[in-house]
């Protein structure tokens, strides 16, 4: 693998568990590496096997992206970028680095980008003046940044020496960024508690929903209209019902407060069907309306023209809640999907509405927009919220499909993962967060590599809510 960066240890402060690092971009296809995962990789790659960090982060672990993203928080407490170099002209630099690096005109300081030198086994303070000057000119002519990196224990940096420098193929991914005490509230996207295949052959799971007490998970098939209900305790199948092509892509909704699941024709042209999840028998049930409902059914969503969501009322007082445009220059919102794009907190005080790459946090009682959460340009395809309204589960697309857990209070991403691999040949995720807060479930639909996107089946994954609160393999 090609070297991507040059790194230099500027200073070490063991009492404060801090190291100051200089990072210089070498490869034209990368930018600054601000994520803590980068620094764990960089620190680990030069740690001796008998050093504390070398014992904790083996080479195999360092090469495992999922392991690094999950466990960086046990080693790196914070990363602060304190200075940048040539960052404002990064794109211009990228376009010219390849040709300029091969030129041999080091006296033209204004136009020449100095090639980053190869390691010579000497610290910066031990290098001959000419070699040290060459390293400095490479750092000053290229895009780079200085960072203060604070680790969780001074042992993790005891093998580092001020003045050490080296080229590295290390890169950054997306390390989990948890606040103190919040691990029990975060879904573990990398370790599903169960992987279910509700339907045989090429039949893919479609909609899914938890019962109000979280005891049952219902999953429907896109075509034909088949229903499966699982017990979330032991994942045993409690109910299976088939309805042929009459109920293709049915709407799925639990009766509020009851273990009764209802299915409705996707165009509402056939009678509602209902089943008792405990007995597995067909039953009569109150008519359900809308695409998604709040906990008690007080609010139910439906389609509205333009950037808005329709809220249905049992009293017949239906209304349309428009989204407020974000920023200046007019309306930049998109049409709302009332099923995939709307979720409610359990106390019904907040409604979360996805539009494009933004989530509008609204008061469903009066339609006010309370805040808008940016999602880093990622097109949102499915949105769900934790029962307490503190975390969003977002499946989105930005070159690849992934699921992001985002904190509502400060809008920061806590964890993310490409469930099932990259976006292709995975077409979509659809998610459900259990009302008891114990599970996050996702339907994965697989497609062929041909342009017709023919379904090739799929699966349902159930993820436990709660990340580890201790590093299991911390050395003594």
What average pLDDT does this structure show over 379-396? 94
* pLDDT higher than 50, residue 111: no
- Please give the residue that has the higher pLDDT: either 217 or 450: 217
pLDDT in tens, 418-427: 876 544 455 5
- Which of the four pLDDT bands, split at 50, 70 and 90, describes residue 223? confident
Q: What is the mean pLDDT of the chain?
A: 88
Judged against a pLDDT cut of 90, whether residue 207 lies above it is answered with yes
- Residue 90 pLDDT > 80, yes or no? no
The pLDDT score that the predictor gives to residue 296 is 95
Per-residue pLDDT tens digits for 248-260: 778 999 999 999 9
Displacement of CA 351 from its chain's centroid (Å):
21
Mean pLDDT, residues 117-128 taken together: 93
| Contact in structure between 25 and 144 (CB atoms under 8 Å) | yes
Distances (CA, A) of 195 to 59, 151, 312, 435, 444: 29, 36, 35, 20, 10
Q: Between 301 and 454, whose confidence is greater?
A: 301
Q: What does pTM read for this prediction? A: 0.86
- Residues 6+ positions from 209 with CB-CB distance below 8 Å: 217, 218, 252, 253, 254, 261, 432
pLDDT at residue 246 above 90?
A: no
Q: What is the structure's pLDDT at 426?
A: 54
Query: Residue 390 pLDDT more than 50?
Result: yes
Least confident of 99-103, 164-168, 278-282: 99-103
Comparing 418 with 341, which gets the higher pLDDT?
341
Mean pLDDT of 428-447: 90
pLDDT in tens, 278-330: 999 999 999 999 999 999 999 999 999 888 999 998 777 899 999 976 554 44
Count the alpha carbons within 13 Å of 370 in the hemisphere toward its beta carbon.
13
Asked if residue 113 has pLDDT above 80, the reply is no
Instruction: Please tell me whether the peptide bond between 392 and the residue prior to it is cis, using omega within 30 degrees of 0.
Output: no
Provide the pLDDT for residue 19.
98
Query: Which comes out higher in pLDDT, residue 97 or 367?
Result: 367
| pLDDT tens figures, 24-75 | 999 999 999 999 999 999 999 999 989 999 999 999 999 999 999 999 999 9
pLDDT at 452 over 80: no
């Amino acid at each position: 693998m090609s070297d991507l960066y040059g790194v230099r240890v500027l200073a070490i402060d063991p009492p404060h568990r801090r190291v100051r690092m200089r990072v210089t971009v070498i490869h034209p296809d990368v930018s600054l590496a601000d994520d803590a995962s980068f620094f764990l990789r960089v620190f680990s790659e030069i740690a001796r096997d008998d050093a504390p960090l070398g014992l904790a982060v083996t080479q195999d672990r360092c090469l495992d992206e999922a392991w690094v993203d999950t466990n960086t928080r046990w080693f790196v407490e914070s990363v602060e970028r304190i200075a940048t170099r040539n960052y404002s002209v990064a794109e211009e630099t990228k376009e010219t680095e390849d040709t300029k690096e091969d030129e041999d005109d080091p006296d033209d300081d204004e136009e020449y980008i100095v090639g980053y030198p190869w390691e010579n086994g000497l610290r910066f303070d031990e290098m001959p003046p000419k070699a040290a000057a060459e390293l400095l000119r490479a750092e000053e002519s290229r895009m780079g940044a200085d960072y203060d990196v604070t680790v969780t224990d001074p042992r993790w940096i005891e093998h580092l020496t001020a003045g050490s420098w080296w080229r590295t193929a290390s890169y950054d991914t997306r390390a989990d960024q948890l606040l103190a005490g919040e691990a029990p509230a975060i879904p573990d996207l990398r370790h599903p508690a169960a992987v279910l295949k509700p339907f045989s052959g090429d039949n893919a799971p479609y909609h899914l929903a938890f019962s109000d007490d979280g005891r049952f998970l219902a999953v429907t098939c896109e075509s034909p209209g088949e229903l499966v209900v699982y017990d979330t305790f032991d994942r045993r199948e409690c109910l299976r019902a088939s309805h042929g092509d009459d109920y293709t892509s049915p709407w799925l909704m639990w009766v509020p407060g009851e273990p009764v699941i209802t299915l409705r024709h996707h165009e509402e042209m056939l009678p509602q069907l209902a089943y008792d999840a405990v007995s597995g028998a067909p039953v009569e049930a109150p008519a359900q309306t809308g695409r998604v409902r709040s906990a008690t059914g007080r609010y139910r969503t439906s389609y509205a023209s333009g950037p808005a969501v329709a809220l249905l009322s049992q009293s017949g007082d239906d209304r349309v809640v428009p989204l407020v445009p974000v920023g200046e220059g007019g309306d930049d919102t998109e049409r709302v999907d009332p099923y995939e794009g709307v979720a409610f907190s359990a106390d019904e005080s907040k409604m979360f509405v996805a539009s494009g790459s933004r989530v509008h946090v609204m008061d469903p009682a009066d339609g006010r927009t309370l805040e808008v959460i940016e999602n880093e340009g990622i097109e949102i395809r499915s949105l769900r919220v934790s029962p307490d309204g503190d975390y969003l589960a977002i499946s989105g697309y930005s070159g690849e499909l992934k699921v992001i857990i985002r904190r509502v209070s400060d809008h920061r991403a806590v964890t993310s993962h490409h469930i099932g691999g990259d976006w292709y040949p995975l077409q979509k995720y659809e998610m459900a967060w259990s009302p008891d807060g114990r599970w996050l479930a996702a339907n994965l639909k697989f497609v062929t590599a041909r342009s017709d996107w023919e379904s090739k089946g799929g699966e349902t994954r159930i993820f436990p809510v709660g990340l580890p609160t201790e590093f299991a393999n911390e050395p003594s």
